[in-house]
Amino acid sequence: MDNVIDKPVWDKPNDFYCVFRCTTIEFAIQLMEFGRIKFNTPTSWVEYAMKFGDGRGDLYEGTVAFCHLLDIDRVIELNKKYNGECFSKTILGNRLFFKSRFSMGLPCYCFYILKIDKFECPGKVGIQKIETDIEATYFRDFADNKTPREVDQLSENERPALVCINDYPEFIKRIKQELIKLGLDENEIITTGVSYFDFEKYGDDGWIDFNQREPNELSIKSTRFANQSEARIILNTKKKDILVFLQKNTIEIGSIQDIAQYTDTYLYEGIHLEMNVKIFKKGQ
């Protein structure tokens, strides 16, 4: 049959349909009405994880290398490579983690990207329905795993909300314009997807050196957070005045109501998405 595709796969599986930002009702309204955005640092996320447990925070955030504490040869090797005031060392369990102080202090902004490969590619050409689920754990993580009853007891401003941005290129364009007005060069504004690494794969005795150039290690996270399908804006700058400003202040890119929508429903059970798309055979 001419309309059947053998072994159907997406031509560009990493393209994405839209992006999500989990937040609270208060900040969702501010984002929608004013485009108000707060950059945070990887250090702040680690501190959050230490205080409240993993979910919004990740203890492994910004890891450039790690090894077992008693693997003396490896400790010596990594110490030589990642030494001095530029790097910090953290002990978690039986492991020694190396992190860049510079990268851990960089302003970052994160969001969920709904990649096209999250949908199963249909086996026929023409108008087809595609569907997928976004796991409940994504929404629960950003509500610190509160139950619906616990959420109902929060003040309205503190309750979870979800902003869906339908025009990602325009959203990024507006953010870049505001950051450039602030004094950043465009090449200091990095947008990148996050890849996920199984830190437990090699057991306590394992080790890894990611050999990443700063701040590229910020695009690696634990597979524990793969459900967050994350992308990031990383401001790779040494301009102290901008770093100090963004520690305490937000930026505003103007209303995004023309390119986004939001819901104040706590999506405790996750969500199911369906849409119709037109499928072509490659080359048509």
Contact 102, 94 (CB under 8 A): no
More confidently predicted of 105 and 206: 105
More confidently predicted of 15 and 25: 25
What is the pLDDT confidence band of residue 16, given thresholds at 50, 70 and 90? confident
CA dihedral 55, 61, 65, 67 (to 10 degrees): -40
β-strands 195-197, 220-222 pairing: parallel
pLDDT at 132 over 70: yes
Contact 40, 108 (CB under 8 A): yes
What is the pLDDT confidence band of residue 72, given thresholds at 50, 70 and 90? very high
What's the predicted TM-score (pTM) here?
A: 0.90
pLDDT at 58 over 80: yes
Mean pLDDT value across residues 254-261: 97
**pLDDT attached to residue 73:** 93
pLDDT at 3 over 60: yes
Cα 173 from Cα 191, distance rounded (Å): 11
Closest to 180 (Cα-Cα) out of 111, 251, 248 = 251
What is the pLDDT confidence band of residue 251, given thresholds at 50, 70 and 90? very high
Average pLDDT across the chain, whole number: 91
pLDDT at 82 over 80: yes
**pLDDT attached to residue 153:** 96
pLDDT at 10 over 60: yes
Mean pLDDT value across residues 211-216: 93
What is the pLDDT confidence band of residue 284, given thresholds at 50, 70 and 90? low
HEC sequence for 7-26: CCCCCCCCCEEEEEEEEEHH
Rounded to the nearest 5°, which phi and psi values hold at 106? -80, 140
The size of the chain, in residues, is 284
E strands, 124-242, in order: 126-134, 160-165, 189-193, 195-197, 208-209, 220-222, 230-235
Count of C-beta atoms within a 10 Å radius of residue 179? 24
pLDDT at 77 over 80: yes
What is the pLDDT confidence band of residue 156, given thresholds at 50, 70 and 90? very high
Contact 190, 58 (CB under 8 A): no
Rounded (5°) CA angle 231-115-4: 165
Cα 165 from Cα 221, distance rounded (Å): 23
**pLDDT attached to residue 165:** 95
What is the pLDDT confidence band of residue 129, given thresholds at 50, 70 and 90? very high
Rounded to the nearest 5°, which phi and psi values hold at 196? -120, 135
**pLDDT attached to residue 196:** 93
Cα 21 from Cα 40, distance rounded (Å): 14
